[in-house]
Amino acid sequence: MEQTCKRYMYRWRLSYSHAPLSDICSFLSLVIFLLAAHLIAFHHASSFFAVDIMIKPDGVQRGLVGEIIKRFEQKGFKLVAMKLTAPGKEHMEKHYADLSSKGFFAGLITYMTSGPVVAMVWEGKGAVLEGRKMLGATMPSESAMGTIRGDFCIEVGRNICHGSDSVESAQKEIALWFPEGLTSWASCANPWVYE
Ligand code: DAT
Ligand code: MG
């Protein structure tokens, strides 16, 4: 066994010492790249983030505000901003700017400006990813039961709630909806939610 190990070590040293410097550099760069990618992915998945959640006009009209807030509270997220507001067409067009080329855009803006909405910011570990899971798929027919859309709606054009789809869009949306800033506070539940 010892002999075999020694032989392998010898062969490895031999091949290593014969490898061109550029190959070793490429290999090291690959290792560094993979490590960095892993660190970034881990940071995004597990860090504390704030997510912009909005209860759309149909959610407000149908009396689902309490139910939706309850789910985020029960999950363990912390509410750091909230308002009932009807900000108008220009604001909604900014909010959905990335969808402006879609055929449904005009209808979406009409729907989103048809009544007040409740805008909120929830904070917690992996809030963006978890928030999207809690909302369910965009198409209610594809949303799993147990998710907000799966439980409470039927059509995509009346899918009752919005949630930021990435950390970057959450930051943009929070700046758009809450230019006054968020409320910073310490939750006494923290040690009971996080280990
Ligand atoms: P999500 O709200 O899940 O982030 P999205 O950003 O792609 O989905 O679209 C924003 C909203 O636009 C969505 O909640 C409802 C509406 N929408 C999306 N796709 C649609 C479609 N094919 N027909 C009608 N409305 C649509
Ligand atoms: Mg979206």
Among residues 113, 141, 130, the alpha carbon closest in space to that of 165 is found at 130
Ligand nearest 102 Cα, by number? 1
- C-alpha–C-alpha distance, residues 144 and 20, integer Å: 54
Ligand nearest 161 Cα, by number? 1
What's the pLDDT score for residue 128? 97
H/E element, 188: none
Average pLDDT, whole number, for the chain? 88
* Whether the predicted pLDDT of 31 surpasses 90: no
* Whether the predicted pLDDT of 36 surpasses 70: no
162 carries an active-site annotation: yes
Whether the CB of 115 sits within 6 Å of ligand 1:
no
Whether the CB of 108 sits within 6 Å of ligand 1:
yes
pLDDT band at 11 (very low <50, low <70, confident <90, very high): low
Q: Write the CA distances from 83 to 89, 90, 110, 111, 177, integer angstroms.
A: 18, 18, 20, 19, 9
